[in-house]
Structure 1
Amino acid sequence: MEDPVFAVPLDDSAELRPLEPWQAQEFLDHIDRARPTVDPWIPWATRSTDLASAINVLQGYADGQAKDGARIYGIWLEGVLVGGVMFTQFDAALGVCEIGCWLEAAGEGRGLVHRASRILIGWAFRERGMSRVEWRTSPANKRSVEAARRLGMRRDGVLRSQFPYGGVRHDTEVWSVLADEWTG
């Protein structure tokens, strides 16, 4: 049984909860389902191929959170992990963090990533005093670009040939919203 103390409802059948190393098998099962749509965009999806690597990914985020850095949260729909949101970088001293997301097909079209991302962005500004929240994505990832736009972010620019994947270097778009622009 899940501990409801750490769950935030996203709608009547979905919730946002911390995603921790003890949930590695559930995470791996989810990534195996999500791999066709997230593998090109989420680097750790490529590396999460067995239980040990799934534990390693989640432990990395747990270690990051312990250092007031990266954090990861899962989105559960009717009790099944279908995606998540994360702070890939979190620098309280600079007042800048980066969020990201992923979702398997079973969770698409319900606004879950949008609502979960708004929770993270609002927390970063309201509770942690961040000045800037970033969203980085490949220009080819149209769903991610649209997610940033729907969140009210502005496109800052493109880091050309910034990210290696599959033996090819890819561009990265940088989107952001500033504390005084956030209407959350």
Structure 2
Amino acid sequence: MFVHKIDEELELKLPQKHDAEALFRLTDQSRSHLKEWLPWLDFTTKEEDTKNFIAGSNKLYADNQGLNALIFFKGELAGVAGYNQLDWTNKTAKVGYWLGVGFQGHGIMTRTAQALTQYAFEELNMNRVEIRAAAGNKKSRAIPERLGYTYEGQIRQAEWLYDHYVDHVMYGMLSDEWKNR
């Protein structure tokens, strides 16, 4: 099982079946906040959907194709972050994340994304880490910008978000850049 202690306040853990109720509750409490930028909220309407997400996350991890980890802040479930995809051929990890509505303003996601970036380079031996965010999502874009990622461009109409397309911006960090920053 994956567990990664970031610091005294933060820890990442692979989700387990017993986490379904708490994760669904956090998702449900944050629904209107998350729905502005994430397309999957209409498909997560009951605890069973969260159980399916957890099962899929565990398969993704077992198959060494990605990692969805629960973020615990001071022992409380705060969100999800990890690698949406691990591309072993090209040595690229694609980071994704979301934070519950009541957990913003504590530096949680910046520290989490920093830890995931470092883990990708030092433990997984990746050459590249990518973070994509909707062009209008300033809070999500601030994370890679704070960490010194390079803005690499905009992908037009990259994602269908309920009733419209949104552009994505892509940020990248290379292993050498991370070591020399």
TM over 0.5: yes
Which residue identity is paired with 1:81?
L
Relative to the length of structure 2, the TM-score reads 0.90
Deviations 1:88-139 (A, max 9, x none): 1111221011001111232111111111111111111111111110001101
**85, 88, 96: which is aligned to 2:84?**
88
- Whether 2:114 is the aligned partner of 1:118: answer yes
Distance 1:180 1:132, change over 3 A: same
1:43: Cα distance to partner?
2.9
Instruction: Give the Å deviation of 1:52.
Output: 1.4
When the two structures are aligned, how many residues end up with a matched partner?
Answer: 180
> Does 2:53 align with 1:57?
yes
Checking the alignment, whether the CA contact within 8 Å between 1:10 and 1:112 is kept in structure 2 is no
Q: Which consecutive aligned stretches of 4+ in structure 1 deviate over 4 angstroms post-superposition? A: none
* Aligned counterpart, 2:134: 138
How far did 1:57 drift? 1.5
User: Where does the alignment leave 5 or more consecutive residues of structure 1 unmatched?
Assistant: none
Inter-partner Cα distance in structure 2 for 1:66 and 1:43: 25
Is 1:105 matched up with 2:101?
yes
Q: Secondary structure at the match of 2:169?
A: strand
| SS class of match (2:85) | strand
Unaligned runs of 5+ in 2: none
Deviations 1:21-71 (A, max 9, x none): 431111100101222222232333342210111111222211111111121
Residue 79 of structure 1: aligned partner: 75
- 1:15 equivalent in structure 2: 11
Q: Give the conservation status (yes or no) of the 8 Å contact 2:73–2:108.
A: no
Q: Partner amino acid for 1:162?
A: A
Rate the CA distance shift 1:44–1:33 in 2: closer, same or farther, 3 A. Answer: same
- Identity over aligned residues, as a percent? 26
> Structure 1's 109 and 100: CA in aligned 2 closer, same or farther, altered over 3 A?
same
For residue 174 of structure 1, the aligned residue among 163, 167, 170 is 170
State the superposition RMSD in angstroms. 2.0
